[in-house]
């Protein structure tokens, strides 16, 4: 569990650095971006290793229907993750589509994973996403971007379906079928 916590703390620290110390982060320029990218990769590796090696301590059991809800919410989460960059119809209606996507992803995974490591990982990343949104909202008012187009949504939808298939394949490869409940 210590490796998982270290990875989670590294992720949160690297990403909150810009919000908590904006002048220090701005003074670093592109070096700061590279540092955050490097720390993020290290954090992901540590979180994956820590999660996979954590002892299973079941905190709660999930209902069978939660698997289907999780899979539907994952499509929503992936779509939201891409909504800002594809300039679809949500771009001027939602301030934090990517962070909202992370939060939906975290909640969806908490619906189907009731073990301690899952609660730490998905709960921690969900709380980080909420904290980021709060800090961003406090820092400055939102300047709405230009309206997006339906073609942006079409691109995002195609990318969402493709990424969903890739993520499902990775889950299979790691030994977990995301479409069949393990009882």
Q: Which of 82, 78, 83 is nearest to 105 (CA)?
A: 78
Q: Please check whether residue 47 is in contact with residue 123, taking contact to mean a CB–CB distance below 8 angstroms.
A: no
**DSSP conformation class of 180:** S
Phi, psi angle pair for 95, to nearest 5°:
-70, -40
Residue 101, pLDDT > 90, answer: yes
Q: Which of 163, 147, 145 is nearest to 155 (CA)?
A: 163
User: Over the stretch 32-84, which tens digit does the pLDDT of each residue have?
Assistant: 889 889 999 999 999 999 999 999 999 999 888 898 999 999 999 999 999 98
- pTM, two decimals, is 0.88
Return the domain boundaries, the chain: 1-54, 58-183
- Confidence tier at 181 by pLDDT (50, 70, 90): low
CA–CA distance, 13 with 8 (Å, rounded to integer): 8
How large is the C-alpha radius of gyration of the chain? 18
CA–CA distance, 183 with 181 (Å, rounded to integer): 6
pLDDT of residue 183: 46
């Amino acid at each position: 569990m210590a490796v998982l916590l270290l990875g989670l703390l590294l992720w949160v620290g690297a990403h909150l650095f810009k919000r908590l110390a904006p002048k220090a982060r701005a003074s670093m320029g592109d070096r700061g971006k590279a540092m955050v990218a490097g720390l993020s990769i290290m954090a992901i590796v540590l979180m994956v290793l820590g999660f996979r090696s954590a002892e299973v301590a079941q905190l709660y059991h999930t209902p069978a229907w939660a698997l289907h809800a999780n899979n539907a919410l994952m499509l929503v989460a992936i779509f939201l993750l891409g909504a800002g960059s594809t300039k679809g119809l949500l771009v001027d209606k939602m301030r934090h589509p990517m962070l909202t996507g992370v939060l939906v992803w975290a909640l969806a995974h908490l619906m189907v994973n009731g073990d301690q490591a899952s609660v730490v990982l998905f709960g921690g990343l969900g709380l980080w996403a909420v904290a980021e949104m709060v800090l961003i909202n406090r820092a400055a008012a939102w300047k709405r971007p230009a309206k997006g187009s339906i073609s942006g949504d079409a691109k995002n939808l195609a990318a969402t379906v493709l990424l969903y298939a890739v993520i499902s394949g990775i889950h299979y490869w790691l030994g977990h079928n995301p479409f069949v409940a393990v009882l």
